[in-house]
Amino acid sequence: MSFKQKLEKIVKKNNSLLCVGLDTDLEKIPKKLARNNDPIFEYNKKIIDATNDLVCSYKPNIAFYEAYGIEGLKSLKKTIDYLKSNFKDIPIILDAKRGDVPNTAKMYAKAVFYYWKADAVTVNPILGLDTIKPFLEYKDRLIILLIKTSNTDAKMFQDIKADSKPYYLNVAQIVKRWNFDNIGIFIGATYPKTLEELRTLFPTSIFLSAGLGAQSADIKKAVKAGIDENKSSIIFNASRSIIYAKDPRQEARKLRDEINKYRW
């Protein structure tokens, strides 16, 4: 089954375009839980148990696990195993933003798809097509290319004018010409005009968009600009605003419903 088919099924089943970012930071979880044997996994399990009927995917950012070294990565492994055993219809996006020369990219692709068993991965495309191909060979997975990020300084390099348009659009137009089925597009929800521009360029591609939660993008504008003609093909990620909420389930439901309000 392709990533797109897997995603369509869960979007329908859970009536949701919401992805929950499992970016669990040991310093931010309750002290009581932090005394547990594997507090990061236990916290993730709590979030997953509370939200699995409200999401279309989970997105652990591997940096939050790497920060605690091998122990942290064991928590990630347990989290992925827990999802694969209990909620195998929910795709896992490993947010890793990898990118390296071809010989090395092959090893990263092996890590994310073979070892971590992710359904999708984020990749930094700036090194060029030969560095993305080792990922693209995994045909049933989605390779989500960073086109425009949501942080404050994103414009510094990504918006440099080239050929009278911002750099990221030059990159996007080249990516478009490659015409690969399993490429997705990462773009911050904080730029509705860019979302619209990229949706025109990629009418059926899957978009991953971040910034609706803690980075407080305008939900209505982002949804209207980002959905495809089937009112789908975009995944809105929220991490901190949900996983550290007093009631993560209620917060996830609220955001899912608000996204849906503007879908139709």
Scanning 11-19, 149-157, 189-197, 248-256 for contacts with its own copies by CB under 8 A, the matching segment is: 149-157
261 is catalytic: no
Compare residues 114 and 216 and give the one whose CB is closer to its own copies.
114
CA distances from 119 to 93, 208, 233 (A): 6, 13, 15
* 58 is a contact residue toward its own copies (CB under 8 A): no
Do residues 109 and 133 lie in contact, with contact meaning Cβ atoms separated by under 8 Å? Answer: no
Residue keyed to tokens 């920060």: 67
Residue 174 sits in the site that holds its own copies (CB under 8 A) = yes
Binding-site string for its own copies from residue 221 to residue 260, where x marks contact by CB under 8 A and - marks none: -------------------x--------------------
Inter-CA distances, 99 with 14, 79, 92, 103, 209, Å: 33, 24, 19, 11, 19
Contact 51, 251 (CB under 8 A): no
Of these residues, 46, 74, 78, 97, which one is catalytic? 97
- Residue 100 contacts residue 131 (beta carbons within 8 Å): yes
How far is 114 from 78, CA to CA, in rounded Å? 16
Cα separation, 171 vs 184, in Å, equals 13
Per CB under 8 A, the segment of 2-10, 35-43, 142-150, 222-230 that binds its own copies is 142-150
State the residues that interact with its own copies by CB under 8 A: 23, 25, 61, 63-64, 66-70, 73-74, 77, 95, 97-105, 107-108, 110-111, 114-116, 124-131, 146, 149-158, 160-163, 167, 170-171, 174, 240
**Which amino acids are annotated catalytic?**
97
